[in-house]
Amino acid sequence: MSKRYFICKNDYDAATSRTFEPVGNVLDWSCFSLHVEDKNSIAALPGYAVEVTREVAVFGLRSWGDIRSTIKVSASDVGDNEEFDNLSYADMTQGPKVAVPMTEKRYNTILRAMKLFAKIIIEDTFNTRFEALDDSAVNLEKKVWEFLKDDVENETDFILSELAEAKGTSVESLKTLVSQKKNFYDKSVKDLYVKASALKTEFYNCTTIRQLNRLYEDYMGVPMPLTQAEEEGRVSPEGLRQDVVPGLKF
């Protein structure tokens, strides 16, 4: 049976999927496959599940962050890797692992996978922060807020006078409060969007896996390979890897 591949947060209940097969994880996000015929499981995926190609899932994610000129693959997967790279590895099959070259195609696939994960994580994080701006208000308050904004912006009085009297304040004081809250909200939304855009652009503009490894470590606490850390002075004088705490740093 053919498969479809998805990226989704780890809180997705995989137990409800008959054909769920994990591929890999980055922070609290998982990549997995479901059989095409498993329509109920696919339909039950949450709204933030993102479908990806098999190349990105299998060959991009499994070689995540690798900066070596050759990588090790399972001998049982040599056929798939030959097909992917369009090369013959028959003479390399020795033992359980086979060293294959980091082809340009493979390298670019890893770049796509790392950039895609970054985009998804950043967008989900800032969307959650945006939704949090409204979390303290109940639905009735949100609807009344629309009326208040309309009154202030259009100089009407659908609710201003009545609400000012109910609150024991003046119409002008209430209008000032509404304007202040609206300005704060608008600025918060603007700042969130600008910051998210800047972060996504920083990841998108990377042209090397090394650059992406650096951003993932600095912004998300995903450690870069030890070799790169040593080359970039991210080890102690004793040669020990500096602690990298998993989690978002933005």
| Token representation of residue 132 | 């949090």
AA identity, residue 247: G
pLDDT at position 124: 95
Sign of the CA dihedral with 8 first, then 52, 195, and 66 last: positive
In this predicted structure, the answer to whether residue 91 has a pLDDT above a threshold of 90 is: no
Q: What residue spans define the domains of the chain?
A: 67-101, 139-201
For residues 49 and 99, the answer to whether their CB atoms sit within 8 Å is: no
pLDDT of residue 208: 98
Pick the more confident residue, 244 or 177.
Answer: 177
Under the banding of pLDDT at 50, 70 and 90, the label for residue 90 is confident
The CA distance from 228 to 235, in Å, is 10
Give the separation between CA 64 and CA 59, rounded to whole angstroms: 9
Residue 86: which of 72, 104, 73, 66 has the closest Cα?
104
Mean pLDDT confidence for 158-162: 97
SS3 173: helix
1 has pLDDT over 70: no
**Window from 130-144, 192-206, 212-226 with minimum mean pLDDT:** 130-144
pLDDT surpasses 90 at 15: no
User: What does the alpha-carbon distance between residue 70 and residue 113 come to, in Å, rounded to a whole number?
Assistant: 19
Residues 112-131 have a mean pLDDT of: 96
d(CA 117, CA 113): 6
Q: What pLDDT does 48 receive?
A: 85
Mean pLDDT of the chain: 93
